[in-house]
Chain A
């Protein structure tokens, strides 16, 4: 069930809208979905990429990772946490790393919604050996 539908149901439950209004809103949402049931907003989000660009005098790096791929990777990482042996967990905790406190959903939410212009990192520096280096990390 989409977030929009959940919101409509919440409004209906709290009595802010009538049953008829809820039905009209849900029908309106359905009309905006494509035949496979994906809303335009969800489709646009699915096409977004996390891009890492390093543009230096000597080195160039170009990484394009689909945002949804990161979401799947974090789901996998989240699922894999239960397989880490207990003694490894304890050793990491001793070094100040508590994997159970990592909130993957929150990380994705921050990347997905928290950036109005989609720019995470934009740094430019100059080095005597490597020359000028510009690093950009952004979502588009």
Chain B
């Protein structure tokens, strides 16, 4: 629709004089993994509602969140992040350190 979807999230961390760290995160793999985990949690959560329960809502809140619902929201957020193609999400740098998160 807008641009092609981004497939990688690259986290770059550089502190001091060292070479720094580069952490590539394949978003396609993350997407599929989270979707599978969501399906598993939804299935087992429906089968054994008390076995898989979230710590949230322990006080008897009527709308107790299901882990699968929480995961669905996370998947929605990641899908949205991916839908803008290539861009730099965050870059913070000072005299010695630099952190950047970029999508490709």
Contact = CB atoms under 8 A, between A and B. Distances in A.
B2 interface: yes
A87 interface: yes
Interface in B82-96: 83-84, 87-95
Nearest to A57: B95
Main secondary structure of the interface of A (DSSP, over half): mixed
A130 B77 CA distance: 36
Contacts of A59: 92-94
Interface in A19-39: 34, 36, 38
Contacts of A43: 1-2
A64 B88 contact: yes
Contact of A63 (B2, B56, B90): B90
A64 B61 contact: no
Given A66-B84, A73-B77, A36 B93 contact: no
Contacts of A101: none
Interface string A41-66: 00100110100000000111111111
Given A58-B95, A64-B88, A65-B89, A76 B73 contact: yes
Interface string B42-68: 000000000000001111110111000
Interface residues of A, number: 29
B58 to A, nearest CB: 7
Contact of B76 (A60, A63, A72): A72
Contacts of B58: 85
Interface of B: 1-2, 56-61, 63-65, 73, 76-77, 80-81, 83-84, 87-95
Interface of A: 34, 36, 38, 43, 46-47, 49, 58-66, 68-69, 72-73, 76, 79-80, 82-87
